[in-house]
Structure 1
Amino acid sequence: MARTVVVAGVGPGLGASVAHRFATEGCDVALLARSASYLDGLAAELDGTEGSGLAVPTDLTDESAVREAFAEIREAFGPVDVLVNNASGAAWKGLRDVSVDELDRAWEVGPRGGFLCAQEAVEDMVAGDGGTVVFTGATTSVRGREGAVGFSAAKFAVRGIAESMARELGPEGVHVAHVVIDGQIRPDADVADPEAYLDPDDVAETYWRLAEQNRSAWTLELDLRPHVEEF
């Protein structure tokens, strides 16, 4: 039976790669983001794989919109088995430059949006045979970055949500994992040194393996970085 996968926060980079990876395994993949035109095209691509796609344009900061999105997904595909929380949004500004509205936006898209999606998806997982929730983190999930106070704060919060959920829901069969993306993901455009970037398809492969892990040895957190990075 095909698994129902929700990717919350889908764009041309990692979100699209994750969607393709799961769809090639025969999963039904629901795509959540605000850009309806992009989601429609990506959903059509997924329909050409072993799985299928569903575009669900959604404002992840809107509680009612998220609830309605998951109702649409259940009607089309059934209960949710895998959730990938990939959304983030923040102004790259320091303390003296960032506005309260910009700080609020970072929190609304990342921690709050991930929280809303997780609340919806986890109920299906607990009622069924379990499931997987993956949160996309960043270098700033574990150490703050100069000039990015909003982004850093939001990513720290996402990590805390993931860790708390893992301890609460692991005994109920829900695998919660947090992935620290410790580097830049390669853009679609040509770059001078591709090996200095993380390949989004390779990152997506890691997400698939997390969803496939046996519950006797679940990963809570891992970090991914390009091999040419210096530490």
Structure 2
Amino acid sequence: MTKPRAVIIGVGDGLSAAVARDLGTDHDLTLAARSDDKMRLLANETGAQTVLLDATDEAAVARLFDDLPASPRVVVYNPSARVRGPIADLPVDDVRAAVEVTAIGALIAGKHAARRMQEADPIDGTRGTIIFTGASAGVKGFPQSAPFAMGKFAQRGLAESMARELHPKGIHVVWVNIDGAILNPGRSEPADAPGSMLRPEAIARTYRHLIDQDRSAWSNEMTVRPWVERF
């Protein structure tokens, strides 16, 4: 039996790698990223196909989805970009480029994921799941981090609008607020605060839960935070 196809855009060695390992057990994977280094190692581990692309290049993203052998059942959009600094000093071109990655890239991926998913025959009434990896910056803007807040607020609004449009068509859309620091490879928790960072594998299990949700009780937004994180 043919496995369902999962597409992960934006690949590193932390959360996206954990999601790929989880989904790779029962999905055929396509990984897409700007750089081949980490993606190639993960592809060798999971048997995934790989595509080099800039997530803000609509023609490249459209080709990615057009070249899939079947409509994807899962699409995860991870990329984001940060520019830090006092508001009075922010270079506008740098801010524009950051928002392009976080928000416009999400729009492009969502557009073409939805286009292909609408071609699919529903399984138990569902054509697929689109997940946007968000952040606490999408609900609260932090000092000297306006560009990241701009991108994540826009991404969150995009996901909510898509959910209202696409849920009745059998396409599940979710924005996940990662409200805390992720314990990616190379990072360590403070000695005085063990368990204070989110494990990538735990977040990946949450993504799996969202993918498997019954459509009678779909989430359109989910927040995950370590137990010590303040609201």
Confirm or deny: 8 A CA contact 1:6 1:80 kept in the other structure.
Answer: yes
Correspondence 1:144 to 2:145: no
- Which residue identity lines up with residue 117 of structure 2 in the other structure? M
Once structures 1 and 2 are overlaid, which stretch shifts more, 218-227 or 186-195?
186-195
- Which residue identity lines up with residue 43 of structure 2 in the other structure? A
Correspondence 1:184 to 2:181: yes
Correspondence 1:85 to 2:54: no
Residue 190 (structure 1) shift: 5.1
User: 5+ unaligned residues in a row in structure 2: which ranges?
Assistant: none
Mapped to 1, the partners of 2:152 and 2:50 lie a distance apart of 26
TM-score by length of structure 1 reads 0.92
Q: How does 1:4-83 map to 2 (within 5 A)?
A: 4-24=5-25, 26-47=26-47, 53-72=48-67, 74-75=68-69, 78-83=70-75
Structure 2 residue matching 1:83: 3-state secondary structure:
strand
Mapped to 2, the partners of 1:190 and 1:144 lie a distance apart of 24
Residue 192 (structure 1) shift: 4.0
Mapped to 2, the partners of 1:38 and 1:176 lie a distance apart of 27
Once structures 1 and 2 are overlaid, which stretch shifts more, 183-192 or 29-38?
183-192
Picking from 118, 123, 135, the partner of 2:115 is 123
Structure 2 residue matching 1:134: 3-state secondary structure:
strand
Confirm or deny: 8 A CA contact 1:39 1:56 kept in the other structure.
Answer: no
User: 5+ unaligned residues in a row in structure 1: which ranges?
Assistant: 48-52
Picking from 149, 155, 159, the partner of 1:158 is 155
TM-score by length of structure 2 reads 0.92
Once structures 1 and 2 are overlaid, which stretch shifts more, 133-142 or 123-132?
123-132
Correspondence 1:113 to 2:105: yes
Deviations 1:13-59 (A, max 9, x none): 111111111002x1011111101122122111002xxxxx1111110
Structure 1 residue matching 2:203: 3-state secondary structure:
helix
Deviations 1:205-231 (A, max 9, x none): 100110100100001111111112234
- Sequence identity (%): 40
Report the equivalent of 2:93: 101
- Which residue identity lines up with residue 61 of structure 1 in the other structure? T
Mapped to 2, the partners of 1:113 and 1:192 lie a distance apart of 31
Correspondence 1:222 to 2:222: yes
Aligned pairs, how many? 222
Q: Cα RMSD between the aligned structures? A: 1.3
Q: How does 1:180-219 map to 2 (within 5 A)?
A: 180-189=177-186, 191-193=188-190, 194-219=194-219
Mapped to 2, the partners of 1:190 and 1:85 lie a distance apart of 23
Mapped to 2, the partners of 1:198 and 1:221 lie a distance apart of 18
Once structures 1 and 2 are overlaid, which stretch shifts more, 147-156 or 4-13?
4-13
Structure 2 residue matching 1:153: 3-state secondary structure:
helix
